[in-house]
Amino acid sequence: MNDAGRLAGRNALVTGSVGGLGQAMARKLASAGANVMLHGLEDPEEAACLGEAIERDYGVRAVYCRADLRQASAVRDLVDHTERTLGPIHILINNAVVRHFARIEDFPIDKWTEALAVNVTAAFLATQMVLPKMREAQYGRVFNMTSVYGYRGTVNRVDYVTTKTAIQGLTRATALETAGSPITCHALMPGSVLTPLWSDRLERMMIEEGLTRPEAETRFLDGKQPSGRFVDVDSVAEVLLLLCGPAGTDMNGAILPIEGGWMAR
């Protein structure tokens, strides 16, 4: 199916979107005609080329805004800037995330506070701000990014497990409060996606254990995704796009696994 024009006239804010999954989702929305606000912590001059590339590729507006989502004021400024630059936000994707690896006994309180602020509070504040204008527009899509670890615990990631569980609660509450309106809210639950973080981990495994790249990937994914491969970011973006259209009208509050069968274990 040709996606061009399906979201023409819509404006999207995608947090954490200068690379990886966030960028893939922003590009997918742009390919369907949506204007996009890109977000990250990179210097604006360095990130401007990404917006220019999206504009050139898809003929939409694509702008970058730097914002430190640890600060509530920065979240509000990001939403305000998006509305001033593009117009009302019709699609919100709360994708920005931080994580720190440590045992509970050793976990720094500043890292805990940071994770709550970026992974949960920022998503809440952005959602709170966009809902009124979504109601006015008679259209709205809110997507929160969760994880398999929002259902299952794991060691040395207490901030990630806790916040990804919390974001599912935010999703359900938002869905119920928007029920009966043209607004929907979902949580997308990818499995292991090949991000720069995990790519670096694979490189270390190859060096330290003398593994080939396929062997390192198999070792890393063992006990996780029965598919035996990393989740493709484009697969997640395709689900997102589907739910932005008519097919998503009667779906609300879903926690959608895109995890290579991990949850079937």
Instruction: Show the domains of the chain with their CATH numbers.
Output: 11-192+232-264 (3.40.50.720), 194-230 (no CATH)
Instruction: Give 80-126 pLDDT, tens digit per residue.
Output: 999 999 999 999 999 999 999 999 999 999 999 999 999 999 999 99
pLDDT reported for residue 197: 78
| Residues 205, 90: Cα–Cα separation, whole Å | 42
How much is the average pLDDT of 129-136? 98
Report d(CA 40, CA 19) in Å as an integer.
Answer: 9
Residue 12 has pLDDT above 90, yes or no: yes
For the chain, the average pLDDT equals: 95
Q: Has 160 been annotated as catalytic? A: yes
Check residue 2 and give its pLDDT.
62
Q: At what angle do helices 72-85 and 122-137 cross, to 10 degrees?
A: 30
Which of the residues 139, 149, 151, 160 is marked catalytic?
160
pLDDT in tens, 139-179: 999 999 999 999 888 999 999 999 999 999 999 999 999 99
> Residue 46: its pLDDT value, please?
85
Cα separation, 63 vs 85, whole angstroms: 8
In this prediction, residue 148 carries a pLDDT of 94
pLDDT at 5: 87
CA angle 77, 81, 84 (to 5 degrees): 140
Q: Which two tokens stand for residue 149?
A: 């670890």
* pLDDT confidence of residue 244: 98
